[in-house]
Copies of this chain bind each other. A is one copy, B any other.
């Protein structure tokens, strides 16, 4: 699959092909792609009518550019705007957006387009999966996190009062356009949080990529061509895992490196993004996964130190104490982890590691070990 990462020198574009049989699709990566979205979409879906779903914040910065591009390609489109923020991933917005897509009289071959970050992508993808039992879905991810994570894998959905992402569908897009220039307008904190997921791909399975990130992270942040390479290599890494395990039965669990601890931290602060955003939770979670692996004798302190150095250099939080405010005791974290949907019939599943790029799934972790470990980590 490595040969599908094709550098298109002329257009300064990179394309990652996600190989899923009849559901395969390309991710195009490059600066100014939003301005060319009309031509790109018309190329894949000639004559299609579109419903563009976006949030109020993204609309303010980027909707005009997209509409101009769609008009230039003579693509008839309607715009549906949702409020920004995680609370938009709810049944009520799902119903409203579905009904607006239907009110626009889109037919089954027409497309629903997500212009935004993870929230817009997850909600819109689930709408696309559901209206008329499946419409064409196009993603224009506008955050680094969405470009390297949500744009690959087909996971869509909304939240229930019982937990996040519990209602949804696997629905692959027909096309993803990741405009890396848009990321210049992203708040630094959001860029950093997305970068944590980029680092994850190195840590879970590609030591050379991690080493490359150590050398090039500043150019990625400042917007050099290394940014496109980082996005492409991340998408390719996830695409390789997903192609091997589309419906998440085995190897795909590796993508949860840092996420079991990370989700627990997010839940512990009640998903208050002023205290912790997802990527920050993943950063601390990856440190904890490495420290826990060290505790189990799987890796040495020099590996932990190397991960710690890179994440702190990039400005990411690296320990629980980096989260402002009070946190619950270790036992509460264990309860949260045990309720996590990645728990299989009572046993605790963790992604552990034997070195940089050598993560693995461990399904039989003793809860008491985790509690003891977290107690130490929670000491102020």
Chain A positions near chain B (C-beta within 8 angstroms): 91, 94-95, 98-99, 102-103, 107-108, 129-134, 155-157, 160-163, 166-170, 247, 341, 344-345
A170-B133, A170-B134 given; A102·B155 CB < 8 A = no
Known contacts A132-B341, A157-B133, A162-B103; A98/B169 CB under 8 A = no
Contacts A102-B162, A160-B98; A167 near B107 (Cβ below 8 A): no
**Is A107 in contact with B170, judged by CB distance below 8 angstroms?**
no
The interface residues of chain A, by DSSP majority, are classed as mixed
Report yes or no: B341 in contact with A169, Cβ–Cβ below 8 A.
no
Further pairs besides A102-B160, A130-B168: 6, Cβ < 8 Å: A102-B166, A108-B341, A130-B167, A133-B169, A134-B169, A169-B169
- 19 A-B pairs with CB atoms under 8 Å apart are A91-B91, A91-B94, A99-B160, A99-B161, A99-B162, A102-B160, A102-B166, A107-B345, A108-B341, A129-B169, A130-B167, A132-B166, A133-B155, A133-B156, A133-B168, A133-B170, A134-B169, A134-B247, A169-B169
| Copies of chain A in the complex | 2
- With CB as the reference atom, state the residue of chain B lying closest to A100: B162
Taking the closest CB of chain B, its distance from the CB of A17, in whole angstroms, is: 22
CA of A99 to CA of B159 in the docked complex: distance in angstroms? 10
B91 touches A163 (CB 8 A): no
Instruction: Report the Cα distance A94→B90, complex, angstroms.
Output: 13
| Shortest CB distance A110–B (Å) | 10
| A103 nearest CB neighbor, chain B only | B162
Q: Please, how many angstroms separate the alpha-carbon atoms of A19 and B252 in the complex? A: 28
Alpha-carbon distance A168/B134, docked complex (angstroms):
8
Complex-state Cα separation, A132 to B94, whole angstroms: 16
Bound Cα distance from A91 to B94, whole angstroms: 9
Instruction: Check if A95 sits within 8 Å of B91, measured CB to CB.
Output: yes
Point out which of A103, A130, A133, A160 has the most chain B C-beta atoms below 10 A from its C-beta. A133
- Assembly CA distance A170 to B108 (angstroms): 14
4 tightest A-B CB contacts, nearest first: A102-B162, A91-B95, A133-B168, A130-B167
A131 close to B345 (CB less than 8 A): no
| Cα–Cα distance between A170 and B171 once the two chains are bound (Å) | 11
Q: Give the Cβ gap from A252 to chain B, nearest Cβ, in Å.
A: 12
> Chain B residues with Cβ under 8 A from A341's Cβ?
107-108, 132
Q: Which residue of B lies closest to A344 (CB)?
A: B107
A247 to B, closest residue via Cβ? B134
Distance in angstroms from A294 CB to nearest chain B CB is 31
- Quick one: closest B residue to A96, CB to CB? B91
